[in-house]
Amino acid sequence: MATKDQNGTVLSRQEQKQELKPPPMYQVLLLNDDYTPMEFVVAIIQEYFNKDRETATQIMLKVHRDGKGMCGVYPKDIAGTKVELVLTHARKAGHPLQCVMEEA
């Protein structure tokens, strides 16, 4: 009997293996620059990554010190949407803030 998914579609060996694996996860990172105000970065982390003010401030200071910092880990489509939303918000406000995703 062929292995099928919930819809009754026959699955290849690769697809059978994939069904057992959790989806690949992506880290969303903020990068440091010399111009974006600290307060703006804290507000972004609170708004898009659901962090409280204290946690957001710690992440912002880590980015400021180390050059980059992790804001959260998400499935690919959610990580991509967060990167887009952050970049759109930053550009509208006239700041050069950079936000990227990396496979975790």
97 near ligand TYC, rule: CB under 6 A? yes
Q: Which is nearer to ligand TYC, 38 or 104 (CB)?
A: 38
Q: Which listed residue (28, 60, 71, 90) binds ligand TYC by CB under 6 A?
A: 60
Distances (CA, A) of 42 to 30, 67, 81, 96, 104: 11, 15, 19, 15, 23
Residue 92 and residue 104: Cα distance in Å, rounded?
29
> In angstroms, what is the minimal distance from the CB of 72 to ligand TYC?
14
The answer to whether 39 and 61 are in contact (CB under 8 A) is no
Write the single-letter amino acid at 27. Answer: Q
Interface stretch with ligand TYC, choices 2-10, 27-35, 50-58, 85-93 (CB under 6 A): 27-35
Residue 37 touches ligand TYC, criterion: CB under 6 A: yes
| Spatial distance between the Cα atoms of 26 and 101, rounded to a whole number of angstroms | 6
Which residues form the interface with ligand TYC (CB under 6 A)?
30-34, 36-38, 41, 60, 63-64, 97
